[in-house]
Structure 1
């Protein structure tokens, strides 16, 4: 976190220095305003490409594999697992029911069953336990 703050702080200082330099160059008549704007635009473009590549590299980190043996061990059915995935996405019972084309009471039944199988009292606790058991992607 400190490294990120330092990098962005250095970036801001460098951009301010660039703006001051371009302002000085424009006032002294060394370059036209179009050239100064073009230089700033190119630098922003290069920084954008760098940040994009860095963020893509971080996203491609290997994700944990889902432990299907643990799912079977807990006795979670395929439909219950689908409901668990939708719960982890933050969907309500009604939204899950609409996505899975079942009634809301069916979803409530699946959620209750999941809570029992995962030994959880709330949906958030069930999601956390599922992540701990590595049956839900992080």
Structure 2
């Protein structure tokens, strides 16, 4: 971490020295102010992106595998699991019924069963509990 901070500080020091040198040579005064500001902004955006990628590297993409043991221990049926996945995507009961080609009352029954099995009382809490148990991504 300190290496990154020192590298960032050294980069800023080099840029500051370069600006002072250019100002000394009167090059900066010949540029329009907007161009100078744009060039400086581009440099700092580049430095920020570089530091951000060094601090937070992109995570390795591994396919999500649901926790089959938790699904089995909770007694979640395949239809309830499909309803849970659609709930997590933010679909309403009518949309879920349309996608799964079942009645909205059946969806309500599956949702109520999921609430009981997960021990929650709302859609958001059901999705949160399912994610905590690694049932859904």
Q: TM-score, normalised by structure 1?
A: 0.58
Q: CA deviation at 1:43?
A: 0.8
Shift of 1:71: 0.5
Partner Cα distance (1:81, 1:55) in 2? 37
Q: In angstroms, what is the RMSD of aligned CA positions?
A: 4.0
Gaps of 5+ in 1: 1-6
Return closer, same or farther for 1:71/1:55 CA change in 2, 3 Å cut-off.
Answer: farther
Gaps of at least 5 residues in structure 2 are: none
User: What pairs with 1:97-112 in structure 2 (closer than 5 Å)?
Assistant: 97-112=97-112
**Structure showing greater Rg:** 2
Count of equivalent residues: 122
Q: What SS does the aligned partner of 1:57 have? A: coil
User: Could you say which residue in structure 1 is the equivalent of 2:89?
Assistant: 89
Instruction: Tell me the TM-score normalised to structure 2 length.
Output: 0.58
2:54, 2:79 → 1: CA distance?
37
| Residues 1-39 of structure 1: CA deviation (Å, up to 9, x unaligned) | xxxxxx9xx9xxx7xx97xx69x94xx942343662563
Partner residue of 2:68?
Answer: 68
Write the mapping of 1:1-138 to structure 2, written as runs, cut at 5 A: 25=23, 29-31=26-28, 32-33=30-31, 36=36, 39-40=39-40, 42-47=42-47, 49-50=49-50, 53=53, 57-60=57-60, 65-137=65-137
The alpha-carbon distance between structure 1 residues 77 and 84, as it changes in their structure 2 partners (threshold 3 A), is: same
